[in-house]
């Protein structure tokens, strides 16, 4: 898996993404932007995250599974440009497999599927039809553009310990990329249980890192 930030929102005078958020947030209160981002940070703390929609980030993501893609595209407030299996030949792809597959015969099954795909192509079947045999383990590349508010909200779900390892690692990589250009927004990218002053778990099956809300209320 490779994750690379290729574009993000900056002001015409070279302002950072949080400079833009600060200016937009100040419109709400007739206030003057501060160098410490007091207004932007105050909005985040109070849950007034709409002001973070004014900045966005574009990532180039390579070598993730189609299973991950299916999870990622459930998040609506983002834009996706995905490698097409209709036009791209997947004969030489390297399947994405989880660690739990080690020392099993499942990788051999994937090779059989690859052979079936190649056989279909050799028989003149169009790529758009031959792709029907390909599994969720098939790799893909995509461009992913998302505003900062959505990025924080998605991170809350996908950085959770109960998220699948592949997509959790993707968002850890995305967070590291954002950290290079706007550490303040990266700091907001936390598991949902830690996006509160008092951490608590809202999952039905808790990982145990933090107490459930019902326990705290007691």
Catalytically active residues are: 158
Q: Which CA distances in Å does 79 have to 74, 144, 200?
A: 11, 6, 31
3-state secondary structure 175-217: HHHHHHHCHHHHCCCCCHHHCCCCCCECCCCCCCCCCEHHHHH
Tokens of residue 155, six digits: 């991170």
User: Helices 38-46 and 17-29: crossing angle, nearest 10°?
Assistant: 80
Q: Report how far residue 2's alpha carbon sits from residue 173's, in angstroms, rounded to the nearest whole number.
A: 8
């Amino acid at each position: 898996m490779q994750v690379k930030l290729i574009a993000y929102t900056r002001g015409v005078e070279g302002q950072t993404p949080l400079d833009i958020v600060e200016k937009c947030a100040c419109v709400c209160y007739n206030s003057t932007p501060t160098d410490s981002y007091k207004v932007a940070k105050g909005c985040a703390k109070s849950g007034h995250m709409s002001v973070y929609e004014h900045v966005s980030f574009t990532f180039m993501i390579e070598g993730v599974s189609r299973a991950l893609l299916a999870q990622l595209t459930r998040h609506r407030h983002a834009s996706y440009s995905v490698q097409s299996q209709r036009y791209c030949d997947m004969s030489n792809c390297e399947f994405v497999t989880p660690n739990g597959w080690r020392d099993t015969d499942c990788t051999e099954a994937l090779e059989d599927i690859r052979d079936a795909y190649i056989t279909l192509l050799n028989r003149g079947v169009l790529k758009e039809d031959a792709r029907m045999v390909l599994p969720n383990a098939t790799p893909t590349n995509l461009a992913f553009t998302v505003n900062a508010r959505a990025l924080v909200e998605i991170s809350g779900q996908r950085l959770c310990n109960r998220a699948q390892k592949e997509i959790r690692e993707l968002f850890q990589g995305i967070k590291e990329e954002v950290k290079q250009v706007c550490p303040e927004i990266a700091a907001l990218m936390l598991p949902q249980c830690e996006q509160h002053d008092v951490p608590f778990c809202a999952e039905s099956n808790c990982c145990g890192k933090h107490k459930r809300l019902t326990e705290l209320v007691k």
